[in-house]
């Protein structure tokens, strides 16, 4: 029996400041199979880990990520709503995350945030870092920008790619194959059971997001979904153990 994998969405984003090292470390501590994070480029072309195109929601700063130099971004506090619990924390670079991952065996889903701003060179820089750290077999590159996904496949066919999407796709496993992707990362709203089953039967992994409700976790585990992407990896793991009878 193949068990459903658990990817920690922006780390353990439900319990820790999203897309920070302490959030990723928490995901590792509780036993997640992988982590999901988002990357963008700074003004000086560094690959940084942050979800929104602006720093407004998750830090004490204002403005677009692309208008900040890395050293300026590093001065911001990205503890978000968790500052009282965890104190000041900063925005990591992808390099820092990959460096830390040399000491574990987690999988890594890198989402390229290039649908609003295209960030020329983001694909090349991300792939260069993945290769530099020998992480080709542990990384999945995803994006809502499917042109970017195809570009990544052409640059690095050895690295798995997965299109992200929010709306219903007809026979998404056929679409995935057409762009050389081995998986799909749909919004759970666009992934009814029949779609999940048909995709897996066709050899395309399905990793829906963002699965935070216990009832949904249980149904996806029972269905044998390839993976779930969740803000609450610890909760997901406890439920998974009960469902599969793992001690």
**Terminal-residue alpha carbon distance, the chain:** 16
Token pair for residue 102? Answer: 């040399």
Instruction: Give the DSSP letter of residue 91.
Output: P
Q: Within a 10 A sphere around the Cβ of 189, how many other Cβ atoms?
A: 10
Please state whether the peptide bond connecting residue 240 to the residue before it is cis, i.e. omega within 30 degrees of 0: no
Q: Within a 10 A sphere around the Cβ of 212, how many other Cβ atoms?
A: 18
Token pair for residue 92? Answer: 């990591």
Catalytic residue among 16, 51, 80, 151: 51
The 3-class SS string of 125-194 reads HHHHHHHHCCCCCCEEEEECCHHHHHHHHHHCCCCEEEEEECCCCCCHHHHHHHCCCCEEEEEHHHCCHH
Q: Which residues have C-beta within 8 Å of that of residue 231, sequence separation ≥ 6?
A: 8, 9, 10, 12, 13, 14, 15, 210, 212
Q: Annotated catalytic, 9?
A: yes
Q: How far is CA 89 from the centre of its chain?
A: 20
Q: Annotated catalytic, 80?
A: no
Phi, psi of 9 (to 5 degrees): -70, 115
Q: Supply the residues annotated as catalytic.
A: 9, 51
């Amino acid at each position: 029996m193949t068990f459903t994998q658990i990817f920690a969405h922006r780390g353990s984003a439900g319990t820790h400041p999203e897309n920070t090292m302490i959030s990723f470390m928490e995901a590792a501590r509780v036993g997640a199979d992988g982590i999901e994070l988002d990357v963008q480029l700074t003004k000086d072309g560094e690959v940084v880990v942050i979800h929104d195109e602006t720093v407004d929601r998750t830090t004490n700063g204002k403005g677009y990520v692309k208008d900040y130099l890395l050293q300026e971004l590093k001065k911001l506090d990205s503890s978000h709503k968790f500052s009282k619990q965890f104190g000041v924390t900063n925005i990591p670079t992808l390099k820092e995350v990959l460096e830390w991952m040399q000491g574990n065996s987690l999988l890594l889903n890198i989402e390229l945030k290039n649908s609003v701003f295209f960030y020329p060179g983001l694909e090349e820089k991300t792939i260069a870092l993945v290769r530099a750290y020998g992480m080709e077999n542990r990384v999945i590159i995803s994006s809502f920008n499917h042109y970017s996904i195809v570009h990544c496949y052409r640059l690095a066919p050895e690295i798995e790619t997965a299109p992200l999407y929010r709306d219903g796709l007809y026979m998404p496993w056929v679409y995935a194959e057409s762009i050389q992707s081995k998986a799909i990362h749909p919004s759970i709203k666009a992934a009814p059971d029949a779609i999940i089953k048909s995709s897996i039967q066709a050899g395309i992994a399905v990793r829906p997001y963002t699965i935070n409700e216990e009832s949904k976790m249980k149904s996806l585990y029972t269905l044998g979904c390839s993976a779930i992407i969740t803000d609450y990896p610890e909760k997901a793991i406890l439920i998974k153990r009960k469902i599969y009878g793992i001690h």
